[in-house]
Amino acid sequence: MPKPSVIPLSVLDLSPVSANQSSGDALRSTIALAVAAEAAGYSRYWLAEHHLNDGVAGSAPHVLAGLVASATKTIRVGTAATLLGNYRPLQIAESIGTLAAVFPDRLDLGFGRSGPPKSPSEPAPGQPAPAADQSAERVVDGLVVPAARPIFGAVLPRKFRLQSELLGRFPGDTDNFENDVQDIIGFFTGEYRTKHGEDVTATPALGQSPQFWIHGSTAGPSARLAGKLGLPFGANYHVAPATVLDSIAEYRAHFKPSETLQEPHVIVSADVLVAPDEFSARRIGRGYAQWVHGIRSGQGAIPYPSPDDAAEFTVDAEASELIKDRLDTRFVGDPGQVTESLRTLQRATGAQELLITTIAHDPADRENSYQLLAEAWGL
């Protein structure tokens, strides 16, 4: 039997839709994967929030969290992240409070700040702003840290702007992030007051105790707020690897102990695909470049292609540069290879937990990847 690892592993699921698969198929696969992840020993099952993507069905994480919690028994369930500007704080408190009341001591609520920029020339929150020391690829303690680049290229795509319009977002509304976080927590603790000093009872949130997290991709407001409030921080290596070390350093530099957390606590995400051997893993993972290119080019996540269809996908030099950082920082291989890469990620970041996201065309390959990793890691 493998020796148990001291570093917990958790799952981040986007509910990807594969080619020739329906959204219902993808969501049912998410629930089935959650059951398998619990049995394999993963600690948390977190759900992402994405909108207007043909290839991602995870657009209602609070609803899906309830379905996942109902299908499982012990694994913690939550969001990574709930994008605060898409809701009013009371709505979030009531939704998560409902789940926390039914599934006590199992809910995690992750706060995310993504939203429209204040001006067309300003990058959207979560898009790394290249700095002088991020203009070239680095290797830090064995970890590849690629050059910084905007997640969506030079121009924010129309689809992203349309999403903001449909969700009622407005330029600069992310400036409300800190107040929204404080308000939501206040609904749970009973400390919320209106601007006129009135008490508010948010049933069923009041008295419930989900675990609060703040997630961020840069050394910006999210990292600083997580430190200021003494909350655990989710750092993003799988989408914004160029700035992961800076975001963690910013969080730790601003950390103040709180009632729930005495020392900084970080979970770092990684894109992973494991198969019995490296050849099989790379074959299964062929569709990844085409899928990431859809996102980075502004088209949005496409239905994940089959390995055979993806084999015909080619990109020019400009498109290749757009996705190179994602390809270079995805861990693909046999269990031993991927385990070693994840230990490098943990060592370089000092993370207390790792968050694994895995996408494949066949849900069975995705589930098998998590199972093989759990066994090799020693869960």
Query: What's residue 5's pLDDT?
Result: 56
Average pLDDT over every residue of 158-165: 88
d(CA 162, CA 158): 6
Count Cα neighbours of 57 within 13 Å in the Cβ-side half-sphere: 21
Write out the H or E segment, with its range, that includes residue 324: helix 317-328
Q: Give the Cα separation of 349 and 235 in Å (integer).
A: 9
Q: Which residues are paired to 48 by β-bridges?
A: none
Task: Report pLDDT digits (tens) over 298-347.
Answer: 889 999 999 999 977 887 787 888 899 999 999 999 999 999 999 999 99
Query: Which DSSP letter does residue 302 get?
Result: P
Interhelix angle 89-102/61-71, nearest 10 degrees:
0
Q: How far apart are CA 221 and CA 45, in angstroms?
A: 25
pLDDT on residue 117: 72
pLDDT for res 122: 56
| pTM value surpassing 0.85 | yes
Is residue 11 over pLDDT 70?
yes
222-267 pLDDT per residue, tens:
999 999 999 999 999 999 999 999 999 999 999 999 999 999 999 9
Predicted local confidence at residue 10, as pLDDT: 98
Q: What is the mean pLDDT of the chain?
A: 93
Side-chain-side CA neighbours of residue 344 (13 Å): 17
CA distance 99 to 72: 13
pLDDT at 133: 52
List pLDDT tens digits, range 63-75: 999 999 999 999 9
DSSP for residue 71: H
Confidence at residue 126, expressed as pLDDT on a 0 to 100 scale: 52
When pLDDT is cut at 50, 70 and 90, the band that residue 84 belongs to is very high
Residue 273, strand partner residues: 332
How many residues belong to the chain?
379
**Bridge pairing between strands 44-47 and 211-216:** unpaired
Residue 146 neighbours by CB distance under 10 Å: 18
Residue 95 has pLDDT above 80, yes or no: yes
- Give the bridge partners for 45, in sequence order: 11, 77
Q: What is the pLDDT of residue 132?
A: 44
